Amino acid sequence: MKSPTYSPILLYPCGHTFCAKVCTNRIINGDLLVLRLGQCLEIHTVTNRKKTCPYCRQRIVSQALNLSLQKLINNFVALQKNPAPAHQSFDPGAQSQYGEKLRQAETRSRILQCALANSVEAKAKLARDIADAQRKVVQLESREQETKVRLEKVNLEYHRVLSEMRENQDNLATLQKYQDEETAKVNLIQETLKNLRKEYLLMEDAVAPQAQASPPLPPQVLVLIKEESLHHENERSPKESAESSSPVVVIITVQEQQPSCSYDSSKPQEIATAASSAQQQHNHELVCRVCQLGSPEVRGELMELACVCKDDLAVAHRRCAEAWFQIRGNRRCEICGKIVTNITVKRGMWSRVTRIINPEVEPSRHPHCNVLVTLFTMAILLPLFVRLAIYR
């Protein structure tokens, strides 16, 4: 590619360079002026009529002289024509300067070699550390999965314990509420009984003079029963009986008779006469077998119970009989064992038996009985209403 005979030709746009021989012959191809190429490029483009680069087969758009390559070739040719002398003398100062630079270069080389060795060792150590860290990461990942599983179990257990604790707290609050209600109810009943006791003592003191003049009152029994119908006891179901039942306070007066008789062997005729008169008086003055009171002494008429009992055992006041059989829970006579068919207690009726012998004392005792009945009813029904309100 020595100039000017052979010049380096640069093909565009691929950038490859080929030698070309300059001549005066030119070929006009359209608007472009193309030089006649040398041996390499001439054979390819002229002889073979190729319009592409021989190396990359890219289409040739234009051609130009490669000046930088041409300058390098000219310098090389000039050096070949004028070679430099084989031995050239150096200045001693320059030689010492170059020796110092050589020592510095050797020192730097040793330093760099030591640094390289240290770096290689550090690199190997880091590689080992990285391998250990990777193994630890794998182990920690497995432990992480196990910890997640345990954490889920602990979380489920925590929520279960939390729900149980909330349920127990609600149950405790409900029980405390019931306890407070029962405490308030007990306090109310105690206060009411205290007031009733005071009133009872006052009325007892007021009635004491009249009680000393009159015969002693018969013993009294206060009974709390459930109000229900005895007439249809076999037809009603237990559920209906429980729903329609309500507490009833029944006061029964029992008169204890202590008959006294004396026997004198010297007067048999008088004893027979007294027995005959007592029998006649007993036939004319029948008493209730429950309260031991006759018809003139209490309100209501005596009736004969429809059972197989005879005489005094078959006679009772209607209210006394109804109250007595309500206490027993059935209409079966406790003496003969038969069903009393003429006793009927209507549903919703308050059964009671008069417990006062003297009619003048009766009005002063009834209000206290009503208050006591009301308190017992409230004490029984209030918890039911409270529980129904809570469950709703």
Tokens representing 111 are 């330093």
Angle between helices 362-391 and 92-213 (to 10 degrees): 160
SS3 363: helix
Q: Which positions ≥6 away from 14 have C-beta within 8 Å?
A: 53, 55, 56, 58, 60
The predicted structure's pLDDT at residue 250 = 44
The predicted structure's pLDDT at residue 29 = 42
What is d(CA 182, CA 176) in angstroms, rounded to the nearest whole number? 10
Predicted structure pTM score: 0.24
The tens digit of pLDDT for each residue in 1-29 reads 566 667 788 888 888 887 766 433 343 34
Using a 10 angstrom Cβ sphere, with 0-12 exposed, 13-18 middle and 19 or more buried, the burial of residue 310 is exposed
What is d(CA 289, CA 310) in angstroms, rounded to the nearest whole number? 11
Superfamily, domain 6-81:
Zinc/RING finger domain, C3HC4 (zinc finger) (3.30.40.10)
Give φ, ψ of 294 to 5 degrees. Answer: -85, 180
Neighbouring C-beta atoms of residue 36, cutoff 10 Å: 16
Q: Which positions ≥6 away from 354 have C-beta within 8 Å?
A: 251, 253, 291, 298, 299, 300, 319, 362
Residue type at position 368: H
Listed by start position, the domains of the chain span: 6-81, 216-255+276-357
Q: Note if the bond before 4 is cis, omega within 30 degrees.
A: yes
Give φ, ψ of 176 to 5 degrees. Answer: -65, -35
Contact 61, 13 (CB under 8 A): yes
Contact 227, 377 (CB under 8 A): no
What is d(CA 2, CA 20) in angstroms, rounded to the nearest whole number? 10
The predicted structure's pLDDT at residue 197 = 80
Q: Do domains 6-81 and 216-255+276-357 have the same CATH topology?
A: yes
The tens digit of pLDDT for each residue in 94-124 reads 778 888 888 888 998 989 999 999 999 999 9
Tokens representing 236 are 């009603």
- DSSP calls for 301-339: -EEE-SSS--GGGGEEEHHHHHHHHHHHTSSB-TTT--B
The predicted structure's pLDDT at residue 43 = 65
Average confidence (pLDDT) per 10 residues, the chain, 392 residues:
71 80 40 41 66 82 82 83 59 76 89 91 94 93 93 93 92 92 87 80 65 47 41 43 42 42 44 46 65 58 83 82 80 85 60 39 54 81 80 65
Q: 216-255+276-357 is classed in which CATH architecture?
A: 2-Layer Sandwich (3.30)
Contact 298, 317 (CB under 8 A): yes
Q: Which positions ≥6 away from 60 have C-beta within 8 Å?
A: 11, 12, 14, 45, 51, 52, 53
What is d(CA 103, CA 111) in angstroms, rounded to the nearest whole number? 12
The predicted structure's pLDDT at residue 50 = 72
The predicted structure's pLDDT at residue 295 = 54
Of the candidates 301, 299, 316, the residue with the CA atom closest to the CA atom of residue 354: 299
The predicted structure's pLDDT at residue 260 = 41
What is d(CA 362, CA 114) in angstroms, rounded to the nearest whole number? 128
E-strand stretches of 6-156: 6-12, 17-21, 26-29, 32-35, 62-65
